[in-house]
Amino acid sequence: MKTLTCGPTVRTGKREEKVRTWMLQTGNPRTSRVEGFTLLELLVVLAILGVLLGIFSLGTGSILSSGDLRLAAREILSEVASARGRAAGSRSEQVLVFNLDENRLEREIKEKGGESVSFRHGKKTVLTMPRGVVLVDIRVENRGKFQEGKAAVHFFPNGCLERMLIHLKNLKESAYTIEINAVTGQATLYEGYVDQEEEM
C-alpha cells in the first residue's frame, strides 16, 4: 500500500513547490492499536516468579542451615595456617584452643614465662563454627582425644605443631575428618568420621 506524503519544499522558477514523495507503509495495516502486555499478564508473570523464588529460597535455606562442612573445614585450616605462620614469624609459641563446649576456636600467645595470654587484648574468640556445624572432638598427638572442654594445640617457632585429627559433623549427620601433619602442617580432608587411634 502506498501513501502520499509531502516532503521538503523545492524552488522551481519563481514559486516554491512541495515535492511529493512516495513511501511504503510498514507493519500490519489491519491492527491499529499499540501492542503490549496487559496488567493481568504482568501480574501472572510476577506471581510465577514469586513462587519460583520462594521455592528456591527454601531449598537454599535448608542447605545452609544443615551446616556447611567444607566452609567450616576451610576456616579451621585457615586458622591453623595463620597460627603456624605467626609462630614462625614472631619466633614465639602460639596456641590454638578448640573450645568444644562453645563450638569455637580461640587464639592465644605463650609469653616467655610460659603463661598463655589472649590474642589482641582479651579478644580470644577467633572463629565460631558456621551454623549447623559441630566440633565433635579433636585428637591431639600424645594427649589423646578431647570430646568436651578445651583442647589446646601448640604451634612452635620452628614451624612444627602437634599432630591432630579434628572431627566435624552437621545436622544431616554428615561428617568430615581433618588430619594435620605435625612437621609440614599439611592437611588431609576425609569424608566421614576417621579415627586413627592406633597411630597417635
Closest CA to 154 of 104, 90, 80: 80
Separation of first and last alpha carbons in the chain: 93
Cβ(147)–Cβ(182) under 8 Å?
no
Cβ(196)–Cβ(180) under 8 Å?
no
Looking up cell 598463655, which residue turns up?
116
- Alpha-carbon distance of 97 to 149, in angstroms, equals 10
Residue-wise pLDDT for 171-186, tens only, equals 888 899 999 988 888 8
What DSSP line would sit under 74-119, residue for residue?
HHHHHHHHHHHHHHHHHTS-EEEEEETTTTEEEEEEE-TTS-EEES
- Alpha-carbon distance of 98 to 131, in angstroms, equals 17
C-alpha cell at 184: 609440614
Query: What domains can be seen in the chain, in order of their start residue?
Result: 91-195 (3.55.40.10)
Cβ(3)–Cβ(14) under 8 Å?
no
Q: For every one of its 200 residues, what pLDDT tens digit does the chain have, with 9 covering 90 and above? A: 555 555 555 566 666 666 666 666 665 656 555 677 888 888 888 888 888 887 776 655 544 445 688 888 889 988 888 888 888 888 888 889 999 999 999 887 665 555 555 544 444 557 888 888 999 999 998 889 999 999 999 988 888 888 899 999 988 888 999 999 888 888 888 988 888 764 44
Closest CA to 131 of 69, 174, 75: 69
Closest CA to 155 of 67, 80, 47: 80
pLDDT at position 138: 93
Cβ(119)–Cβ(107) under 8 Å?
yes
To 5 degrees, how large is the angle CA 149–CA 81–CA 101? 15
